[in-house]
Amino acid sequence: MILSRKAKEAIKTALAMTIAYGIALSMDWDRPYWAGFAVAFVSQATVGLSVNRAALRMLGTVLAAIVALSLIAGFAQDRWLFILFMLPFVCFCCYMMGGPKYQYFWQVSGFVVIIVCFDSGPDPVNAFDTAVLRVQETGLGILVYSLVALFIWPVHSRSQFETVARDLAATQHQLFAAYRSLMSGEEGKAKEALQIRAQQAQQQARFGQLLNAAISDSYEVRELQQPWRQYQGSVQKLATVMERWHDSFAEIRTMDLTRLLPGLPAYLDEIDNRLEQIGLMLAGEAPQRRPGPVELTIDNKVAGILSHFDRAAIAVLYRRMQALEEITRVAFGALSGIRGYGQAPPIAESARPRPRFLPDPDRLACVARFLIIVLAAYLAFIYVEGWPGGPGFVGMAGALGMALVNAPQLPISKIYAPVTVSALSAGVLYIFVMPQLATFLGLGALIFAVTFVICYSFAEPQQMLGRAFGLALFVVIASISNDQTYNFLSLATTVMMFAVMIPMLALTVYFPISWRPERVFLRQLGRFFRSCDFLISIVDRPGGGSISRRDRWRKAFHLQEVATLPNKLGTWAPRIDPAALAGATPEDVRNLVAGLGELSLRMQAMVEASEPVKSEALVQALEGDMRSWSASVQGAFQHLSDNPAAATAITFRSRLTEIMDGLEQRIEDVLDRSSENQMGPVGAETFYSLLGAYRGVSEALVSYAGLTERINWDAWREERF
């Protein structure tokens, strides 16, 4: 009989859970379910993923134990001082949990501090034992699961990693082909490109996870860790560069590119070939040819008859195509070094910008929500006598609250069914089956069977919530220990605890701010336009004078907002209640988010392009005109941040076209007086890049306005609970 992958993974988790319980019970450790928890939550699809998660859980538990013991040592006598010093640490963990690195470490550190504090707080004499017990049982669960995963049907990450790397390369090749068609005017490819882009984003995230996992469980990958990281960096950059390249297409639609860029077909073939060779190398074959030289130049004679804006668009396109050439060469070199087909290019030591703290308002909002959950649980525990669960209620609220704010898009209603079904099933086992068991043979078989059924039934990634709740409630309700007692009251208390806790968690969806997806979407949209408004005002500073330190920080903050908000909006958009869309389709909302993504890229390009050219004579001569453009765009952003319905494509188009036409005329006049050659080749290129960026923002704004017209914003903005 051949077992499916799903069955094998369920057997491994069930076996590890049974062994962990067996060891903890034979050592006569109190609360053996902590070992069970560790097994339940570190089990992942491959050994490497599990080991990484296990390491983060272990380190998080150790840090949490140290912090919890320090808090108990310092403030066990005063509950207000205790909570006052505990909350900043927990909130810090909650904030860090939303960051790009070590999310699980911070999540575990945060909720384990609460659990240890509230388990030991009422009994400070045994606090040290409790903290140590938590650490050793977590270590036991992790060790047992790691050994089981290593020895029974081990699944190393390398093969999955290689598959994802191949898929990602194929997707990027497809995306390049789609963009190539779009550049040549085949508009029908736009929808396909959008889908490929979404696929690319998912594969990039998976590639990063599996690279970390493969480094942990595969010597071959660990040995080549640095080149793989370099390849990962170049793949990420390739995605960005392709986006920027695609972003320039709107302005060049009417131009004859084969005349303007005579080497264009050869250039595109060369890039296509490089991407194909990358795919071949990832499939384990030798490359058939190496990257060749690329001759891509702008024909100045043909470009000379274009308007200045069109010349700017060509300059921007040319620059982006150069970047694409460079990054595909780097990616090819990195991979050929890994596969042994050549020398990997030296890793460029780029000057890293000084890291500065840029707060993320969404993560801060999640912290506030978590703070309300923990404080409400704490106050209820203190002030309401006989509160179900007692101090355990606060620990459980902390752990659940952290999971909830980690995925704020997930509707709370999604947990009702798993909790109810898990509590009922665990209750039946606890009342009717467990009292019949006298030895570990029977108990072990029960633990194995229940864990297997839960893991097998909820094996898909989208069923993780059901699996987590199923295992957690079984472990909590069964309360397996050496001095096993059976009491209906403890079951009823646990059920009551969840019955009270879940409405409390639901309350935070409504108060103090609404977390309904459409409200969050509107708030983020407002922030996006406010940030655009600020960035325009910074670019528009007279004479390009130096900006203060505070403004530099604000600029970095708003740039971060503009760069990250379209992705965040993309995660909220599918969750919006169709009733709130009031006539618009989910497709309209997706297009709106894509339009914002375009505007975001163009805003970033504009800020980037504006930096080196402020001293150029031509820019100074046109300062007044550019300021008039900025004022107009800034006004538009201000209106949009107050009311997204303020955008109408016709108004924007007529206003911006008028200004751009004026600017075009002024450029002609100024150039007639000074001669373009006075700028020098570098000056001309940077000037046209800036001009192209200005035009790009105008076009993206008009295009966004066109997209918003399909949405009934009044209905969307209507106040709702």
**643 near other proteins, rule: CB under 8 A:** no
Residue (of 28, 19, 31) closest to 142 by Cα position: 19
Residue written as token pair 């820019």 = 619
Residue 669 gets the label, from left (phi > 0), alpha (psi -120 to 50) or beta, of alpha
Residue (of 137, 129, 113) closest to 34 by Cα position: 137
The vertex-493 CA angle with 490 and 494, nearest 5°, equals: 90
Residue (of 640, 528, 521, 531) closest to 570 by Cα position: 521
Looking from the CA of 103 toward its CB, the CA atoms found within 13 Å total: 11
Beta carbon nearer to other proteins, 485 or 548:
485
Stretch that binds other proteins, among 362-370, 402-410, 497-505, 586-594 (CB under 8 A): 497-505
Q: Which residues 562-591 are close enough to bind other proteins by CB under 8 A?
A: none
User: % helix / strand / coil in the chain, to the nearest 5?
Assistant: 80, 0, 20
| Site pattern 499..518 for other proteins (x: CB under 8 A) | xx--x--xx--xxxxx----
**351 near other proteins, rule: CB under 8 A:** no
Cβ atoms of 632 and 681 closer than 8 Å:
no
In angstroms, what is the minimal distance from the CB of 528 to other proteins?
Answer: 23
- Single residue of 80, 357, 432, 721 touching other proteins by CB under 8 A: 721
| Site pattern 358..397 for other proteins (x: CB under 8 A) | --------------------------xxxxx---------
In angstroms, what is the minimal distance from the CB of 717 to other proteins?
Answer: 9
What token pair was written down for 340? Answer: 């042994």
In angstroms, what is the minimal distance from the CB of 284 to other proteins?
Answer: 57
Beta carbon nearer to other proteins, 302 or 412:
412
Beta carbon nearer to other proteins, 337 or 517:
517
Burial class (CB in 10 A: 0-12, 13-18, 19+), 383: exposed
Beta carbon nearer to other proteins, 435 or 624:
435
In angstroms, what is the minimal distance from the CB of 384 to other proteins?
Answer: 6
Beta carbon nearer to other proteins, 302 or 509:
509
Cβ atoms of 127 and 410 closer than 8 Å:
no
Sequential DSSP letters for 642-667: H-GGG--HHHHHHHHHHHHHHHHHHH
In angstroms, what is the minimal distance from the CB of 420 to other proteins?
Answer: 16
Beta carbon nearer to other proteins, 669 or 714:
714
In angstroms, what is the minimal distance from the CB of 360 to other proteins?
Answer: 22
In angstroms, what is the minimal distance from the CB of 581 to other proteins?
Answer: 14
Stretch that binds other proteins, among 24-32, 151-159, 397-405, 494-502 (CB under 8 A): 494-502
Beta carbon nearer to other proteins, 357 or 721:
721
Beta carbon nearer to other proteins, 497 or 589:
497
**Rounded Cα distance, 445 and 23, in Å:** 15
**Rounded Cα distance, 602 and 79, in Å:** 52
Cβ atoms of 33 and 475 closer than 8 Å:
yes
Beta carbon nearer to other proteins, 61 or 494:
494
Listed as own residue / partner, the contacts of 490-493 with beta carbons closer than 8 Å and 24 or more positions apart are 491/427, 491/430, 491/431, 493/388, 493/389
In angstroms, what is the minimal distance from the CB of 715 to other proteins?
Answer: 9
Cβ atoms of 529 and 640 closer than 8 Å:
yes
Angle between helix axes 127-151 and 47-75 (nearest 10 degrees) is 180
**431 near other proteins, rule: CB under 8 A:** no
Beta carbon nearer to other proteins, 267 or 572:
572
Beta carbon nearer to other proteins, 176 or 387:
387
Q: Which residues 183-222 are close enough to bind other proteins by CB under 8 A?
A: none
Q: Where would I find the H helices in 257-383?
A: 257-260, 264-282, 300-304, 308-339, 361-383
Three-state SS letters, 485-540: CCCHHHHHHHHHHHHHHHHHHHHCCCCCCCCCHHHHHHHHHHHHHHHHHHHHHHHC
Beta carbon nearer to other proteins, 187 or 385:
385
Beta carbon nearer to other proteins, 93 or 711:
711
**414 near other proteins, rule: CB under 8 A:** no
In angstroms, what is the minimal distance from the CB of 526 to other proteins?
Answer: 16
Element (H, E) at 451: helix 440-457
Stretch that binds other proteins, among 96-104, 237-245, 641-649, 712-720 (CB under 8 A): 712-720
What token pair was written down for 498? Answer: 């969840």
Beta carbon nearer to other proteins, 298 or 499:
499
Residue written as token pair 């980037």 = 608
**Rounded Cα distance, 421 and 419, in Å:** 6
**Rounded Cα distance, 630 and 457, in Å:** 57
Beta carbon nearer to other proteins, 584 or 613:
584
In angstroms, what is the minimal distance from the CB of 718 to other proteins?
Answer: 5
In angstroms, what is the minimal distance from the CB of 397 to other proteins?
Answer: 15
**538 near other proteins, rule: CB under 8 A:** no
Beta carbon nearer to other proteins, 295 or 714:
714
In angstroms, what is the minimal distance from the CB of 580 to other proteins?
Answer: 10
**712 near other proteins, rule: CB under 8 A:** no
**488 near other proteins, rule: CB under 8 A:** yes
Q: Where would I find the H helices in 340-439?
A: 361-383, 391-406, 416-428
- Single residue of 1, 2, 438, 489 touching other proteins by CB under 8 A: 489
Sequential DSSP letters for 561-602: HHHHHHHHHHHHGGGS-GGGGTT--HHHHHHHHHHHHHHHHH
Judged by CB under 8 A, the number of residues near other proteins is 24
Sign of CA dihedral 177, 183, 186, 190: positive
In angstroms, what is the minimal distance from the CB of 720 to other proteins?
Answer: 5
Q: Which residues 42-61 are close enough to bind other proteins by CB under 8 A?
A: none
| Site pattern 304..343 for other proteins (x: CB under 8 A) | ----------------------------------------
Q: Which residues 451-480 are close enough to bind other proteins by CB under 8 A?
A: none
Burial class (CB in 10 A: 0-12, 13-18, 19+), 440: middle
**444 near other proteins, rule: CB under 8 A:** no
In angstroms, what is the minimal distance from the CB of 98 to other proteins?
Answer: 22
Beta carbon nearer to other proteins, 338 or 501:
501
Q: How many helices (H) and strands (E) does the chain have?
A: 28, 0
Beta carbon nearer to other proteins, 493 or 638:
493
Cβ atoms of 166 and 335 closer than 8 Å:
no
Find how far residue 130's CA is from the centre of its chain: 35
Q: Which residues 587-626 are close enough to bind other proteins by CB under 8 A?
A: none
In angstroms, what is the minimal distance from the CB of 512 to other proteins?
Answer: 6
Cβ atoms of 141 and 36 closer than 8 Å:
yes
**496 near other proteins, rule: CB under 8 A:** yes
Sequential DSSP letters for 158-211: HHHHHHHHHHHHHHHHHHHHHHHHHHTT-GGGHHHHHHHHHHHHHHHHHHHHHH
Residue 711 gets the label, from left (phi > 0), alpha (psi -120 to 50) or beta, of beta
In angstroms, what is the minimal distance from the CB of 498 to other proteins?
Answer: 12
Which stretches of the chain bind other proteins, using CB under 8 A? 384-388, 488-489, 492-493, 496, 499-500, 503, 506-507, 510-514, 718-721
